[in-house]
Copies of this chain bind each other. A is one copy, B any other.
């Protein structure tokens, strides 16, 4: 598979627009305490209704209903909410954990086979200081289609041995793209891994409950990529937070929606530093010139979809992809900053 344009490559990941989600036929809106926080694919609803029915002696946990639309059929929406009695953070958290453990034990839902024992927050609660309605198991995030958060680190090297003495802007730009290099990770090919063999940032991962983006980054560096002293890099200003990218993704096999925000960090690395893999997520690291990435890697479907967005954002912020060399510049920037309809932290 190849992409024809960079916009097409970016939109492979930012593939959903909230206004196009079909809450009449394909999805149920997930609402907590009056606030929309996610979208549940219909395939999960049967099991949820069965859970309610099976446990008829207990109070049902969820309500699955349809809004009337005030006489306007286009506004009719299917929704899932908590039952009225389940009205506190403690109750929601406890009973969702029980529900998900039950579904997992029953062998339901492919995604629950990747159970992490790691909790993700659902934000939007006005009465809690940290704005969290509840925490739930990370593997279930795509069941509910809730917003999730991660960190991605761009590791780059300025190779000063490449001298920039150019006689015209195009030559200059090519030399700059030869001088700047980016470390990319190749994901391991082990079975059951997501996106095996695809290219990734040097370090990336999800932000768990209670973690800040920076503490998440420090943990991920420790777990994934040896050789990078990220604490020292942060302390010396070589690693800086550089904003976020945001997208709304529906993959073919993922069977759920993923509205995601990724906190992006850039670290300028010494040419002498060679990262090495710590855990089994990464097979190898390679150092690519920006020209190699621009010419051969962006449209070739080698990057994991969301990692491509992080690379493109880096190339835009550092002046390698510009309004002069990319006709869809503005649409690409829009697509790196998708509006998400759910509240954040």
Interface residues of A (CB under 8 A from B): 72, 74, 164, 166, 169, 172, 176, 212-214, 234-237, 240-244, 246, 261, 263, 316-319, 322-324, 329-331, 333-334, 337, 339, 344-345
Task: Chain B residues near A345: list those with CB within 8 A.
Answer: 330
- Is A339 in contact with B334, judged by CB distance below 8 angstroms? yes
**A212–B322 CA distance with the chains assembled, in angstroms:** 11
Q: How far is the CB of A317 from chain B (nearest CB, A)?
A: 5
If A169-B235, A241-B324 are given as contacts, then 11 extra A-B residue pairs at C-beta distance below 8 Å, sorted by A number, are A176-B237, A212-B323, A213-B323, A213-B324, A214-B322, A214-B323, A214-B324, A241-B319, A241-B323, A242-B317, A337-B337
**A317–B244 CA distance with the chains assembled, in angstroms:** 9
Task: Chain B residues near A214: list those with CB within 8 A.
Answer: 322-324
Number of this chain's copies in the assembly equals 2
Given A235-B172, A263-B323 in contact, is the A240-B330 Cβ separation under 8 Å? no
Pick from B166, B169, B234, B240: contact of A169, CB under 8 Å: B234
Task: Chain B residues near A166: list those with CB within 8 A.
Answer: 235
Task: Chain B residues near A244: list those with CB within 8 A.
Answer: 329-330, 333
Given A214-B323, A334-B339, A339-B339 in contact, is the A318-B240 Cβ separation under 8 Å? yes
**A164–B26 CA distance with the chains assembled, in angstroms:** 56
Q: Is the interface of A mostly helix, strand, loop or mixed?
A: mixed
Given A263-B323, A323-B213, A337-B334 in contact, is the A316-B243 Cβ separation under 8 Å? yes
11 A-B contacts (beta carbon < 8 Å): A164-B237, A169-B235, A214-B324, A237-B319, A241-B324, A242-B317, A242-B318, A242-B319, A244-B333, A263-B323, A317-B317
**A339–B339 CA distance with the chains assembled, in angstroms:** 7
Q: How far is the CB of A155 from chain B (nearest CB, A)?
A: 15
